[in-house]
Structure 1
Amino acid sequence: MNIAFIAHDKKKDDIVRFAMAYEKVLESHELFSTGTTGKRIMAETSLKIHRFKSGPLGGDQQVGALIADNKMDLVIFFKDPLTAQPHEPDITALIRLCDVYTIPLATNMATAEILLSGLQRGEFKWREIIKEEKQYDEL
């Protein structure tokens, strides 16, 4: 599965700790991230992550493009609800795309843990069916 990591500045420590805790689960998946978040996770784990630009410089939109092309299966986005973000429209658009394309989205550690627990149990097989249907529709 393709999994994206995004975290606001005040949540980067949390997402790094989360990735460390679930490293064994995550290592068998394709991982993507916005710039600094991915750099921080890779510095503390052995995970290989494809890094996009920083969120405010377009990284959120790069993740969004993968969602729109049905190439992202899960988004873990630790948002900071107490700090105004200058690129809030990009964040809103990313969340909207997850809803439009039925992509599971965790915006906090509690939800992310539930999603990864489901991933461990094989409860995301439906994503493969959706991908196959999308490929068939494009023929």
Structure 2
Amino acid sequence: MTKMTQPRIALIAHDKKKDDMITLAAEYLEFLKGCTLSATGTTGGRLHNELGLKVERKHSGPVGGDLQIGAQLVNGEIDCVIFLRDPMTPQPHEPDINALVRACDVHNIACATNLSTARLVLNQLMISRAGAA
């Protein structure tokens, strides 16, 4: 993460995980308000409409949103990815999903793919931010 600027977080959720994303974001609402957020289409819309978060919305995942976030990541514009994946439902854009997760690995960017790891990452970001303040 850049030297204590606002954390830059990408938020993505498959259809069956969007409610979980809203619940997670509500738990960390005050922290997330101080972050620069990017999200895929519907997820970003819900985060904005339901929680009032300022979110840079990309396309929906199946039409290129995952790739847009991947491009931000490669350009050094994302510090971590919260990607609540649905492992039980086949995704038509699975190659894009794999490319995004691979880009996280290649560029050493934290990528949380379930609620447990998402909470760990967000908690650590909060601790790091508080320690730098």
Asked if Structure 1 and Structure 2 have the same fold, meaning a TM-score greater than 0.5 normalized by the shorter chain, the answer is: yes
- Structure 1 stretches of 4+ with a deviation exceeding 6 A read none
Distance across 2 between alignment mates of 1:81 and 1:24:
29
Q: Which amino acid aligns with 2:13?
A: A
Give the SS at the match of 1:50.
Answer: strand
Q: Is the 8 A contact 1:77 1:106 kept in 2?
A: yes
Number of the residue aligned with 2:103? 97
Identity of aligned residues (%): 50
Give the SS at the match of 2:125.
Answer: helix
Gaps in structure 2 of 5+ consecutive residues: 1-6
Q: Is the 8 A contact 1:3 1:30 kept in 2?
A: yes
Give the SS at the match of 2:91.
Answer: coil
Number of the residue aligned with 1:11? 17
Per-residue deviation, 1:70: 1.1
Number of aligned residue pairs: 124
Give the SS at the match of 2:128.
Answer: coil
Distance across 1 between alignment mates of 2:75 and 2:101:
15
Where do residues 1-139 of structure 1 align in structure 2 (5 Å cutoff)?
A: 1-122=7-128
Give the SS at the match of 1:53.
Answer: coil
Q: Which amino acid aligns with 2:29?
A: E
Gaps in structure 1 of 5+ consecutive residues: 126-139
Q: Is the 8 A contact 1:20 1:44 kept in 2?
A: no
Distance across 1 between alignment mates of 2:75 and 2:110:
15
Bigger Cα Rg: 1
